[in-house]
Structure 1
Amino acid sequence: MQVKKCSLIALAISAAVSQMAVASQQSEAKGFVEGSKLKVLNRNMYMNRDFKHGQRNGTKSYGEEWAHGLITTYSSGFTQGTVGFGVDAFGLVGIKLDSGDGRNGVGTGLLEINDAGEAKDDQALAGAAAKLQISNTVLKYGNQMVSLPVLAISDSRLLPESVTGGLVTSNEIEGLTLNAGHFTALSNRNQSSRDSAGMKSLDLAGGTYKFSKDLIGSAYWAETEDYFRKYYGNLNYSMPLSDTQAFIVDFNMYDTKSDGLGLSRAWDGEKLDNQIYSLAAAFKTGAHTFTLSHQRVTGDGGYVYGPDGNSTMYTAHSMQVSDFNQENEKSWAARYDLNMAAFGVPGLTFMTRYIKGTDFNTTLSSNGKEWERDVEAKYVLQDGPAKDLSFRVRWGTRRTADIATGNMEDLRVFVEYPLNIL
């Protein structure tokens, strides 16, 4: 494992060195200070979840929390020369605004919980990573936020997750992006300890290639020690039909198999050995986009998350509430998106979708069924002193008798205001 990881990193760096004479990212480096960027995202979030019939935690059936987050990110430029050096850093602060009367910690995942089971008044986490650039290859080591199909931090709550380790990203060949990494810790989105997810180690390698302007493919491998090994594949094809119309097809798949101790298991205690596939077809015409999709799981166990990030599921049916990822589950979905810019209201968008899953296995059923309905609206101010201030509402409904905590109403309200300081 260690030899494979080191070889991948050495290959990426040697490829960069061999092409240093070609115009590159590093040749255009502005300097450590001159290329610096400092941003602060103010995120105000309200969330409530209503678990019907007191299913969650045996007694509590309702969770409600409101908080404000400050997400500060700093990215330096690279020093000039053959080899460029720089630093990235982040600081995360979450402040409780309202939570109590038995409403906190009931499945929302918004705020960190103390030993008494109550939401903390505040939480904070900071991290930094050193980075090095040669030609079009960047090596980054330290605390960072990674979004890859086999390691993706979640940013769907108040504060984002982060990981600790090293990542090489190489763009030496036109149209090809290669990644190789080794990570040893992951901090969950509502916890401030350095490795709250319990990651031992995670190694990954893969890349994305643009075959043409319309066809893109990806392939990745990752092994999370004592949890699982995952393969990922993707093909995305976009066919323009006119200036205002396009047809898009997106295929995704994962192959997962337990590794070592197999700390993530199937519902019946067996080790994982499964595949999940999804295919989505979208037709875009003017302001409207219509999407139909199908997803299915095969093999032993369902697709699971572990210490590889709560957003590591790049499939069509990774939804607001359910991911339709139970053992043997087959699901269909219909989605509609509307961009109101075409009607004179730029910045206003709507989305609604309906998903139905069948034939899955759990401890409650060998012929499980579930459905979910999501509605979302978002508005971003386009100009004025509050430019880029955004308002977003997400409402999801899920119903099933075959998953213990399945029935749910999920409401999330976001107000975000980004500040570009540098």
Structure 2
Amino acid sequence: MAVVCALAAPVALAGEGLAGDASASLQARNFYLNRAFDRVPPGAQQKRDEWAQGFMLRLHSGYTGGPIGFAIEGYGATAIKLDSTPAHAGSGLLDSHYGERAPAVAAEGYLTAKARSGKTTLAVGGMELQTPVLGSVDIFLLPQWFEGSLLRAQGVGKFDFEAGVIHRINQSGASDSDDLSITGPAALNIDFADGPRSSDRFSLIGTTFRPLPPLSLSYHYGQLDNLYRQQVFNAAGWWPVDGRARALGVEARYLDTGSQGVTNIDNRAWAARFSYHFDHLKLSASYQDMSGSTGYPYINSSNAYLFNFVELNAFNHKDEQSWQLRFDYDFAGLPGLSFMTRYVSGDSIDVGTGIEGREWERDSDLQYVFKQGLLRNVSLRWRNATVRKNFGPDVDEHRVIINYTIDLL
């Protein structure tokens, strides 16, 4: 009830005539996930298998007039369990863990107050965030989002700027938000030395410089209080080839992460990616290298700003070296049909047992979006991932996703 009342605010603003560009949409997402594990210890979970239905309502009041415009944005979502058992729980679709019964229904939502002057915006409240040091993912039933504040200024000469403070994170299907913590610290050789394992403050600041249309240079700094601080440098460019529907892309990235407190976090990651576009075809290759006394940390299963961050793995272990080949294709003869496949291999991993850790992952993604008729804007998607490694269980996963979005305003 509280979520519904909160989400009524943007509609009320629009109804009072304070804004003429209000928008509202309802998204329905049906999600089935099956993840099977092989070579697991006795008594460990061998399969995660869940099916759920999600509904996401997004409302925006539009900005008021004047030199400073104000707006309210609202988001409310419901996760409905269709099939889940304690033995197969923990897939990430619902707020459940192995051995627990997932809730039949869960609701979540947020409000965001916004102010805008020219190309500068301030947002305070809930948000789906994308920055090099912290970013949301939308790969399960409901999107991941954060609570905090973010200031963005675009088009200041050839620069964009952003700064913010984030306090909490909300995962897919969870009714409550959590403090910010590190994903899988034990596997990354991270030691907290009896210090805190989570924080309620992540600060970020960054800028992007575009000296020429195809080239961008960026620097971002992020700090998770009492745990780690991180610097990210990125350079990217696209260049047309032969003046036709061809383009060559090059991107290089360097990330320096160290302790901010009593942890032993110490990681340097560098990576490069080369891409070639030709009509409906895209080929890309990337290389990623980890050094330092730990792996690369990132927050609560959020977006890791790594080229080899893929469906199940990030290839971010201590000393890991990894490479990726990827193929994307949009079918010209059947509009709406697209396909992607990639292979990532990592080795030289320090797993602490004296052996060299090795792993690989192969992903495939097939999607069709109806362009006309009764099912217009309905998308059908199948995702498959296969993981093999010599220091952990093998994984085979299938995801089947049906999406439909309706514009209400």
- TM-score under structure 1 length normalisation: 0.85
Taking the TM superposition and a 5 Å limit, the aligned residue runs for 1:9-24 are: none
> Aligned partner of 1:329: which letter?
E
In structure 2, the partner of 1:192 is: 175
* Change in CA separation of 1:33 and 1:58 when aligned onto 2, cut-off 3 Å: farther
1:98 to 52, 64, 83: 83
* Change in CA separation of 1:418 and 1:237 when aligned onto 2, cut-off 3 Å: same
In structure 1, the partner of 2:401 is: 414
> Aligned partner of 1:330: which letter?
Q
> Aligned partner of 1:299: which letter?
G
In structure 1, the partner of 2:278 is: 285
2:55 to 66, 70, 88: 70
Aligned to 1:414, the other structure's residue is in SS state strand
Separation in structure 2 between the aligned mates of residue 397 and residue 225 of structure 1, nearest angstrom? 36
Structure 1 vs Structure 2 CA RMSD: 1.8
> Displacement of 1:36 after TM fit?
0.9
* Change in CA separation of 1:48 and 1:116 when aligned onto 2, cut-off 3 Å: closer
In structure 1, the partner of 2:129 is: 146
Aligned to 1:152, the other structure's residue is in SS state coil
Separation in structure 2 between the aligned mates of residue 165 and residue 332 of structure 1, nearest angstrom? 35
> Aligned partner of 1:215: which letter?
L
The answer as to whether partners of 1:188 and 1:196 remain within 8 angstroms in 2 is no
Aligned to 1:82, the other structure's residue is in SS state coil
The answer as to whether partners of 2:70 and 2:116 remain within 8 angstroms in 1 is yes
Taking the TM superposition and a 5 Å limit, the aligned residue runs for 1:3-14 are: none
> Aligned partner of 2:93: which letter?
L
Aligned to 1:163, the other structure's residue is in SS state strand
Separation in structure 2 between the aligned mates of residue 133 and residue 276 of structure 1, nearest angstrom? 36
> Aligned partner of 1:332: which letter?
W
Structure 1 position 321 matched with structure 2 position 304: no
4+ runs deviating over 4 angstroms: none
Q: Alpha-carbon deviations, 1:363-406, whole Å to 9, x = none?
A: 3454111111111111111122322111111101010112x3x4
In structure 2, the partner of 1:44 is: 30
In structure 2, the partner of 1:79 is: 64
2:321 to 298, 314, 330: 330
Q: Alpha-carbon deviations, 1:291-334, whole Å to 9, x = none?
A: 11111101111112225xx3332221011111111000001111
Separation in structure 2 between the aligned mates of residue 59 and residue 116 of structure 1, nearest angstrom? 11
* Change in CA separation of 1:132 and 1:362 when aligned onto 2, cut-off 3 Å: same
1:61 to 30, 41, 46: 46
Structure 1 position 221 matched with structure 2 position 208: no
- Unaligned residue ranges in structure 1 (runs of 5+): 1-30, 263-270
* Change in CA separation of 1:245 and 1:375 when aligned onto 2, cut-off 3 Å: same
Structure 1 position 126 matched with structure 2 position 115: no
Q: Alpha-carbon deviations, 1:193-247, whole Å to 9, x = none?
A: 1325454101110022222221112211011112211111211111101322111
The answer as to whether partners of 2:164 and 2:205 remain within 8 angstroms in 1 is yes
The answer as to whether partners of 1:32 and 1:86 remain within 8 angstroms in 2 is no
In structure 2, the partner of 1:312 is: 303
> Displacement of 1:253 after TM fit?
2.5
2:359 to 365, 370, 374: 370
The answer as to whether partners of 1:227 and 1:306 remain within 8 angstroms in 2 is no
Taking the TM superposition and a 5 Å limit, the aligned residue runs for 1:237-252 are: 237-241=237-241, 242-252=243-253
In structure 1, the partner of 2:21 is: 35
In structure 2, the partner of 1:356 is: 345
Please, which moves more after superposition, 278-287 or 359-368?
359-368
Separation in structure 2 between the aligned mates of residue 84 and residue 184 of structure 1, nearest angstrom? 26
The answer as to whether partners of 2:86 and 2:99 remain within 8 angstroms in 1 is no
- Unaligned residue ranges in structure 2 (runs of 5+): 1-16, 181-197
The answer as to whether partners of 2:129 and 2:146 remain within 8 angstroms in 1 is yes
* Change in CA separation of 1:115 and 1:235 when aligned onto 2, cut-off 3 Å: closer
> Displacement of 1:53 after TM fit?
2.5
Separation in structure 2 between the aligned mates of residue 381 and residue 175 of structure 1, nearest angstrom? 39
